[in-house]
């Protein structure tokens, strides 16, 4: 629209006169016409008398031109005849006199002058009253430059407009990313920004979060209740097994029942730990110095390694960094990972610390048989059991690493599994470092 409208604002365009200018031109034409009544048409060089009459009425800075019916021009100013010819081709209706600027001059007309029953046209050349700058003229003369300047001028507005339109979408994406990380908190601002469609989407999104959170709480509560209820029959089963052993002595059947009862007890214990951590955890989150927090874990691991004849190494343990965490749950998670490494390693377990960009990266490597690459992302899922010798040998419940992942996630950290440089499995734990004053 700007490109279409701007050229019409060029002051050099042909414009029709206002009533005031039109009346002044007609008055001048009438005065000249009254003087020409005294000039005989057939007199010698009658057109010279035209020039004399025009000179007597033209103002300083003006030049008057009369165009005859056969397109001849009568004037004393011969150097601008071409301008008058050009203008007379564009404006030749005396009922609609016009104006056009040529450089620093303007021509207005035509105005009707009667002489000897013949109609003549009067044009006035004078200094322009509205001269636009050469730069503006240059822009109007080069439409592609005008287009470029228009685009440059409108770009900040368009960028702001696109940013404003996309702002609600960015907020929705940010909220979705947080949900993908397990954060089910509501986002009230999604219902306040953007168009009505975005606000309605934000309201639906928050409703979805409320329902997800409610379902999660119901699931966790059910999880906890079932685990507690299972403990009662399990206790009775273990008691009955003990009585049976007393009456009939040891047998393969009794041993099998006792082993399965112990596995079930371990599984229920893990379920309770996971439910307690997710639903009714009473532990307080607090600042802890890394080396002091994990000292007992590493002392216990060192003692255990000596007893089973394996090498346990801790490298680059930070001594001046703090993390904000649930200390018991985090230490339990790290101890769980180290015990898994003891269980599956052949000879060596290495724990290494790396601090960078306000994060501490803890790696636990073992030289065991490792885990298939296709299962590295799955082993932190509850009840996921690896279908190879590593899992069959352990008889695990598939809940240990799920508890580890949950504990680390609560401290705003991440955990993943990789192939170890020792040949076995590497667990990578990343935790944020905090400034403690």
Helices (H) and strands (E) in the chain, counts: 13, 13
Confidence (pLDDT) at 224: 65
**Phi and psi at residue 360, to the nearest 5°:** -115, 130
Q: How far apart are CA 230 and CA 219, in angstroms?
A: 16
Q: Which among 92, 207, 228, 412 is annotated as catalytic?
A: 228
Tell me which DSSP letter residue 424 carries: S
* Token pair in block for residue 186: 């509501």
Q: How far apart are CA 420 and CA 436, in angstroms?
A: 33
Instruction: Report angle CA 48, 51, 57 to the nearest 5 degrees.
Output: 150
What is the mean pLDDT of the segment spanning 317-338? 88
End-to-end alpha-carbon separation of the chain, Å?
61
pLDDT, tens digit, 9 for 90 and up, residues 63-78: 888 888 888 888 877 7
Confidence (pLDDT) at 126: 86
At 7, the pLDDT band (50, 70, 90 cuts) reads low
Q: Please state whether the predicted TM-score (pTM) of the whole model is above 0.75.
A: no
pLDDT, tens digit, 9 for 90 and up, residues 361-408: 999 999 988 888 888 888 887 766 665 444 444 545 566 788 888 888
DSSP characters over 370-404: ---GGGTTTTTSTT---SSHHHHHHT--S-HHHHH
* Token pair in block for residue 291: 């080396």
Ordered by where they begin, the domains of the chain are 2-141 (3.30.450.210), 196-278 (1.10.287.130), 286-432 (3.30.565.10)
The residues with which 107 forms a beta bridge, in sequence order, are 100, 125
Contact call for residues 204 and 190 (beta carbons, < 8 A): no
At 43, the pLDDT band (50, 70, 90 cuts) reads low
Q: How far apart are CA 118 and CA 116, in angstroms?
A: 5
| Catalytic-residue membership of 228 | yes
Q: How far apart are CA 112 and CA 109, in angstroms?
A: 9
The residues with which 111 forms a beta bridge, in sequence order, are 122
How far does Cα 322 stand from its chain's mean position? 33
């Amino acid at each position: 629209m700007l490109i279409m409208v701007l050229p019409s604002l060029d002051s050099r365009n042909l414009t029709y006169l206002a009533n005031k200018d039109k009346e002044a031109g007609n008055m001048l034409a009438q005065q000249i016409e009254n003087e020409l009544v005294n000039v005989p048409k057939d007199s010698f060089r009658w057109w010279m008398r035209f020039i004399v009459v025009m000179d007597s009425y033209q103002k300083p800075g003006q030049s008057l031109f009369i165009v005859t019916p056969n397109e001849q021009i009568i004037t004393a100013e011969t150097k601008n005849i071409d301008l008058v010819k050009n203008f007379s081709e564009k404006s030749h209706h005396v009922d609609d006199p016009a104006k056009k600027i040529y450089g620093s001059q303007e021509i207005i007309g035509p105005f009707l002058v009667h002489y000897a029953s013949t109609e003549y046209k009067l044009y006035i050349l004078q200094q322009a009253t509205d001269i636009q700058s050469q730069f503006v003229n240059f822009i109007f003369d080069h439409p592609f430059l005008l287009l470029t300047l228009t685009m440059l001028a409108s770009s900040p507005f368009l960028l702001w407009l696109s940013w404003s339109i996309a702002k609600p979408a960015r907020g929705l994406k940010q909220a979705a990313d947080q949900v993908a990380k397990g954060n089910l908190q509501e986002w009230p601002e999604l219902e306040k920004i953007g168009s009505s469609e975005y606000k309605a989407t934000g309201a639906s999104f928050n409703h979805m979060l409320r329902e997800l959170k409610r379902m999660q709480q119901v699931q966790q509560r059910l999880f906890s209740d079932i685990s507690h209820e299972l403990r009662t029959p399990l206790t009775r089963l273990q008691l009955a097994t003990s009585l049976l052993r007393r009456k009939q002595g040891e047998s393969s059947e009794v041993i099998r029942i006792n082993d399965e009862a112990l596995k079930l007890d371990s599984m229920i214990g893990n379920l309770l730990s996971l439910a307690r951590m997710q639903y009714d955890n009473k532990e307080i989150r607090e600042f802890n110095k890394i080396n002091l927090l994990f000292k007992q874990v590493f002392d216990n691991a060192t003692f255990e390694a000596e007893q089973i004849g394996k090498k346990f190494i801790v490298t680059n343990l930070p001594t001046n960094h703090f993390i904000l965490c649930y200390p018991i749950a985090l230490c339990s998670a790290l101890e769980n990972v180290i015990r898994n490494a003891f269980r599956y390693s052949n000879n060596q377990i290495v724990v290494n610390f790396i601090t960078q960009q306000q994060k501490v990266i803890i790696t636990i490597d073992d030289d065991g048989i490792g885990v298939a690459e296709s299962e590295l992302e799955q082993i932190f899922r509850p009840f996921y059991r690896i279908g190879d010798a590593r899992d069959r040998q352990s008889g695990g419940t598939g809940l240990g690493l799920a508890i580890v992942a949950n504990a680390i996630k609560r401290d705003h950290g991440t955990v993943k599994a990789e192939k170890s440089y020792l040949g076995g499995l590497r667990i990578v734990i990343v935790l944020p470092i905090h400034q403690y004053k």
